[in-house]
Every structure is written in structure tokens, then in C-alpha cells.
Amino acid sequence: MDRPFALLAELTYDCPLHCAYCSNPLDLASYTDELTTAEWQRVIAEARELGALQLHLSGGEPLRRRDLVELVRTGRELGMYSNLVTSGLGFSPARAEQLRAAGLDHVQISVQADEPSLSDRLAGTPSYARKLDAARLVRQLGWPLTVNVVLHRQNLDRIDGILELVEEMGADRVELANTQYYGWAWRNRDGLLPSRAQLERAEQSVRAARERLQDRMQILYILPDYYERYPKPCMGGWAARQIVLAPDGAALPCLAAHDLPLPRASVREHSLAWIWAESPLFQQFRGTDWMADPCRSCERRELDFGGCRCQAFQLTGDPARTDPVCHLSPDHGLVAEAVRNAGDRANDPAPRGEPTLLPRPHPRSTAPRSVPLKEVRQ
């Protein structure tokens, strides 16, 4: 694709939840100078001119933006399909009616677990009941509903109950996405990475649910990269399909690229068209010319595009390295060791010195409180 298919607008990193697996930046305070309503409207129009058909409104919690209804209306007037990615908190009947009148097309709600106390602990705040209320409201107003569940060591064994809950919520689609280790999730990897045995049990549950619900609900199950033989293509390839905009106007080719030591691109300084076509950031790893071996000579190079640049940087300090998830990578031992450690902890009946989970703080907070895993487990 030579044009972006979608714009993912991260309107704010402000969020009522404090999830330990959040992939947003660690330095949240650097993103509090958010784009104004007029700036967002200009950028949405520029994205449509580039060819973007979808507008995904995310965060943080996009409902924290008072101008959300105006931004949805802007997308509708431009002919874009709009999707609200929300925790469900703040999704009141009045706000929902306003969003429907403005032309919102779809709602995606996150769920942490199927059991109320565990869900609230993983979210870092009482939220379980309000999420169910939000889902009911979505169905009452006739929107398609997707439920997103980030899976990890602390909730993966409850996947049967999670699927039952999602079915009760009346979801059209569920995304069971194993944690990607960026941002806060990277800080908490040791406490979040599941064991192979957990994953095998979960896959059996997903297969059974797909057979039972094939005519009623689409189930998307995404394996964790660390357990794959080959890496996944990052967003379909670096700067190939989508533009991500951070709250302060930083344009990114993927969700975690804010941590890479690369030139920045901002819609406050350049047009979206220039950023997409000419900025050094978006050109850096586009296509395959940048690759070294083993990627350059691999027959899969145009399938996975070398894997995730952000993951390569997290694990090796070099975003140009082959993604260590790949079994052909010279750095694959880094992933294999993490997987072995996850299995060792699962087989230890009385683990000692377990890591703590560091919750995502408020954007203006500087000293988040660590939560021992024993407080998270049911």
C-alpha cells in the first residue's frame, strides 16, 4: 500500500485505569500538551486526503476529551468509519447518545478478567461493573461491539470464564491479544509473561469456543510473540498501512515507536502528507532495503518485514537488528531465556522473590506504587 488505510488517534494518555500491561510511554508527563480540537480536525482531514478510510479514537481514555463528539462528527463528515477504543468508564447514556448522533460507527471496550475483584485489581481501579454497563449501552444503541482482552500470566488461566463473559456481553467480536512487551508491559514482563503450559490450555479453550460460537461471535486469538517461530509483521510492515498520532502531535509508524532513537515527526511542524511520504522516521524501515542478514536473504522478508523494530530495540538496543523472536535471529537466546524463566516460575510450587507489577500512573504522577503479584492473583 502506498497510502495509509487508517489513522489511530491517541487523543490523550489520561486514563482512569492503571493497567500494568499498558504499552503507552513511560514518560507520560511529556505528552500532556495535547493537540487542540482544531489541530485534531485538521489532521483528520489530512489523513482522509491521504486516503485513510478508518478513524480509530483511542488513548489513554478518549472519553476524557471533551471534544470527542466533535472529532467523531468531523470523521463522519469526511466519510470515515469511526471506532471508539475505550475502557467503558465515562460512557454515560447522555454521552453515548451524543456520539451516536455524531455518527460513531463502532465501539471497542476493554475487559481485564471475568471475575470482578480480579478485574478491578488488574485495572487498578473499580471498573468491572461499569464495563458491563457500557457494553449493555452499546448493544441498546445498536452499535457493533468488540471486546478486547489483553491476556497475560495473571488472567490466562481464566480464559473459559472470559469467553463466557464476552458472550454474555453480546459482543460481535472478541480480540484475545496476548501482551506485547512495550512501555509498562516491558517493565512488568517477568510478572506478565505466561508459561507454555498456560498457552497450550488457552489454545484448547479458544478452539472449543470457536466451534461453539462460529455463527455468533468472531474470536481473534493472538499468540505472544515470544512463543512464535517467526515474528509478526509490524503493523503490516513499517509505515505501510496506518499512521499513529500521539496526544502531542507526534506522528508514528506504529504504537511503540516513540521509544526508538530516531528522528521525530510532528503534525505541529509538518503536514501529514509530508510525514507519510518524506519524513526520515517513516522512511527508516519501510520496505526491505534497510535489512541485513539473516533478514536480507530470507524468503519471508516480505511477509514479516524483519519483525518488530520496537521489540528489536527493547531486547538488543538496536532497532535495525532482526527481531529476536525469530528463531533465525542471532539474538534469539534473549527470548528463549525469558520463556524458560516463565516456565520455571510456573513449575515452582513456592516461588521466591517474585517480581512486582508496576501499575501505569496518572500522566502527571511521578512515583507510581508497585503492586506485589500476590495482590493481583485471585
Residues in binding site for [4Fe-4S] cluster: 15, 19, 22
Task: For helices 332-347 and 309-316, give the axis angle rounded to 10 degrees.
Answer: 80
Instruction: Specify the DSSP class assigned to residue 126.
Output: S
Helix extents (H) in the chain: 37-50, 68-77, 93-102, 116-123, 128-140, 159-168, 183-187, 189-192, 196-213, 272-278, 280-283, 301-304, 309-316, 332-347, 373-376
Amino acid at 40: W
CB atoms within 10 A of CB 258: 23
Contact 270, 249 (CB under 8 A): no
Q: How far apart (Å, rounded) are the C-alpha atoms in residues 372 and 98?
A: 41
DSSP secondary structure code for residue 344 in this structure: H
Residue ranges of the binding site: 15, 19, 22
Helix axes 332-347, 196-213, angle to 10 degrees: 90
Cell for 341?
524463566
Cα 106 versus chain centre, distance:
17
- SS3 sequence of 180-243: CCCHHHHHCHHHHCCCHHHHHHHHHHHHHHHHHHCCCCEEEEECCHHHCCCCCCHHHCCCCCEE
* CA-to-CA dists, residue 258 to 26, 240, 244, 251, angstroms: 10, 17, 10, 9
Which cell numbers in the block locate residue 301? Answer: 522478508
Cα 325 to chain centroid, rounded: 19
